Structure 1
């Protein structure tokens, strides 16, 4: 595996040239200008989204690209290279329940998304007492590259681990880099949310990964530009959604798109968090999008469909749900978005949907509040109050009283305000193939009363550590996915940088709270999108 990273030398050389006065000093052009022009004309300049190079936006969904993974405190030797499941017909058939067509690769260096689960199991079995799974939803290698270029003001690498972001450069712990396949068991499975059953197992499109069509590296240019989106000329393989992919990383199985910790037949599987909880571990979940979205939901809950939000939240907070009428124990810390949304009806949530907030009912929120005899200190967006103070006060109260913590923030739409590449919160238009989409606008209250992913992450760490080791924590930078679905390079870079700052603060916290001896951090994404960077220099702002 890649242990030496020449890209770092490029960054060092750039800094040396700058110190000698040999590097040019030019005014940086905002990436927002590039986004604005491309979105309004749908004519690509320097970058585009999707397989059609003549349009800026021709695809707003996921892809079957290989996904990068960075580990800290552990390595990837047990799963990559000669250990890769993709080198063995027998192992692949056991993993999928069938042998995916044109997927075996005797030279595969890449591994599978389900191995992320195995890495966590191995970490716990090896004696680690603190496990952090840091997921950038939707951040493939190209998205990472764009953010690193922008932050560096140069093109510091063109392949490999890369450099320029905190999580690429950090060397405070043993670290490794690799990449894996994210394809699901299948796409197209139908379910009945009220009965919590799968009604058409097997779906319409099976998973697989053809290295000849897609490439052997995350930075490879596919032989068939339409293969990564299940529209290949020679073979079609399904690409994953966030629910299936998160389930693979937390439960170690291949399943259908939309599944939350159930197998392709709809049968319950136990995520790593609940296995560890049964052994006395404390559990935390943090996200910049709604608390019950696919990735945070898969950290703990079970459901046949990702959009059954209120029931997924009930599992997370230990309330009776449609899947668990007797309730689960619930997590110790849950902090995320979803505040401020309202719906009168939602057919995707089944007959037990309660009008109001689509992510958590008022009854459930009141029931878990310590003020009403519940287990959670509630810290939610409060008009006129700074969000960070509200959250910090809630965390302090939870620590002092020995309670759990539930943090609930956001704006209309369920997420936190989108940070843009310039570090501000001033999005420009997004892009669809049908034309530009109006930008979100935030009030002064939206910004003051909310929190950042870094704020939430540190609060969760403090509460979990106060409860005593061992503990497991998922942190999700979910806004990367939302930005990429919108084909918005400005929001996408901003989301990566926001997550990178959270990672930076998390590593500082670890260094001042016992160090890395007992800690494992896995940083990765659940799937890719389809950003194509034709002229990387355009993202330097020069």
Structure 2
């Protein structure tokens, strides 16, 4: 039975069940009977979040929360922001980068990082650091002797998104600033742990490229990056002095906010670059991600994501491309096939498990002249070429009609380990992602919202759920295969559905995605404890950028 504190308040139940408003006396009796029933109380708890989302999306009138700078609308902004982003480390600390060591305290260091000194960005009191320090943190871990490095990216999960999920899970408001408590990654103390926050702004936004020639055609873009703490705040939980600053529309200062490609490149390759870049600098020159650097030294590498195999974050783990949407070529880099950027082919990753299965597309102008109709992320020819049954290097485990996804993946893991092959996993539903988990742990989302009105709710069949896997399933599979190949190894895990839910301004999906990612983290830490512990292991959990969720009434998310 759920805690009584998590049952929705009577006013919310009355709005959900109008008869209780019309006949208050009857409603009071009915309400007491309903709340006495644990099963129904749990159902009402689910209704409180889904109904909150549904009501807000349909009316665009904010209740408890809103997205964007306009407090009068539920949805006035559906993309990223320039918020500071939290990072949680396990097995290592942040002492070399935060506080007095922050890049943002030094004009000289900022000029070296950006190639220019961003306006209103030098801050002698900065406690925050830069996103590129996540790359340097991994390098530091390797140099200190760590043999297993895990970069866990909850795409789009800013402090406010995390807060909303922690409130819902706890049934109360456990904190209002700082690291927080209530989620596994906030509470875990099985290893030395640290908490900090960083700037995600890119080098610039507005850079144009030519995908066919893989050239940057307008270096420098239209809007430079930077971070003004007087406008955006000193902390991830700050209320901005200028509500439009975070979205590059500030009254006095304008700085670019980042996309998932530039931010992932910052974390994997340590450079500031333009939005849409995959491991190239702001001029379009190749930079080597840490996974390829380590692979050259004998490390095994793996990539896991709940969204398509070649989306920006998994792409930046290994590939190079001037534009994030050149999907098929990015996948070729990941699986060791000749690509437009690497005609001679890269070595490819040892484990790649993600979404993208089942999608079809006849045309895609963003992918250039060499786009092949069919699956937009992986061509049939490339998939056949990598399959061990056709002489390739990968055991292919993919969504298979009539079979449970977890069993298909487990069989793939067993074969890959026994026969010493690589592992490629391909799952998902229409749209390229795994099924969205909602706040209650089910898969029954209501509609998201855009500023112009609600978007359609995703609908999943029983087959969609049964034939797919979870992020936790894929994470365990990757760990088992990499460990079987022997240390050292590097692994990226991405909870990409957090970002997709936030783009949709869907609090139900957003909370569900955070909880799904948190469960994957929980299982990863349990795996580490059973496989040698933390002496040789470090894990960095963070997000790539923020969105613009504003929680005005946190108690409503708690059901109080």
| TM-score scaled by length of structure 2 | 0.92
Q: 2:390 aligns with which of 372, 379, 385?
A: 372
CA deviations over 1:458-510 (Å, ceiling 9, x no partner): 00000000000000000000000000000000000000000000000000000
The superposition leaves residues 270-327 of structure 1 with CA deviations (integer Å, 9 ceiling, x where unpaired) of: 0000000000000000000000000000000000000000000000000000000000
- Equivalent residue number for residue 171 of structure 2: 153
Q: Deviations over 1:400-446 (max 9, x none)?
A: 00000000000010000000000000000110111111101000000
Structure 2 residue aligned with 1:261: 279
CA contact under 8 A between 1:287 and 1:335: conserved in structure 2? yes
1:319 to 315, 337, 340: 337
Say if 2:232 is the partner of 1:214: yes
- Answering whether residue 354 of structure 2 is matched by residue 336 of structure 1, we say yes
| Match runs of 1:157-306 below 5 Å | 157-306=175-324
Separation in 1, partners of 2:483, 2:364? 38
- Give the deviation of 1:133 after TM superposition: 0.1
User: How far did residue 30 of structure 1 move?
Assistant: 2.8
Corresponding residue for residue 472 of structure 2? 454
Contact 1:30 1:422 in 2 (8 A): no
2:161 paired with 1:130: no
| Segments of 4+ moved more than 3 angstroms | 24-29
The number of residues matched between the two structures is: 521
Give, in whole Å, the separation in 2 of the partners of 1:188 and 1:218: 26
Distance 2:158 2:258 in 1: 13
SS of residue matched to 1:30 = helix
- The residue number in structure 2 matching 1:519 is 537
Distance 1:228 1:200 in 2: 24
The equivalent position to 2:506 in structure 1, one of 478, 488, 495, is 488
Superimposed CA distance per residue, residues 158-194 of structure 1 (whole angstroms, 9 cap, x where no aligned partner):
0000000000000000000000000000000000000
Residue 73 of structure 1 pairs with residue 54 of structure 2: no
Q: CA RMSD in A?
A: 1.2
Counterparts of 1:280 and 1:207, CA distance in 2? 36
Any residues of structure 2 matched to 1:494-505 within 5 Å, and which?
Answer: 494-505=512-523
Which residue does the alignment assign to 2:10? none
* 8 A contact 1:338–1:409 mirrored in 2: yes
Give the whole-Å Cα distance in 1 for the aligned partners of 2:452 and 2:48.
Answer: 25
SS of the equivalent of 2:136 reads: helix
Match of 2:59 in 1: 41
Distance 1:30 1:250 in 2: 39
> Could you tell me whether the CA contact under 8 Å between 1:138 and 1:481 is conserved in 2?
yes
SS of 2:416's partner is helix
| Match status 1:114 vs 2:132 | yes
2 CA distance for matches of 1:101 and 1:505?
43
TM-score, normalising length: structure 1: 0.95
Q: Which runs of 5+ in 2 are unaligned?
A: 6-34
The equivalent residue for 1:403 is: 421
Rounded Cα–Cα distance in structure 2 between residues aligned with 1:76 and 1:319: 37
Rounded Cα–Cα distance in structure 2 between residues aligned with 1:251 and 1:97: 16
Gaps of at least 5 residues in structure 1 are 1-13, 15-23
Q: Distance in 2 between matches of 1:438 and 1:79?
A: 43
Partner of 2:371: 353
Report SS of the residue matched to 2:424.
Answer: strand
State the 1:541 CA deviation. Answer: 2.1
In our comparison, the structure showing a higher alpha carbon Rg is 2
> Match of 1:522, SS?
strand
Q: Secondary structure at the match of 2:66?
A: strand
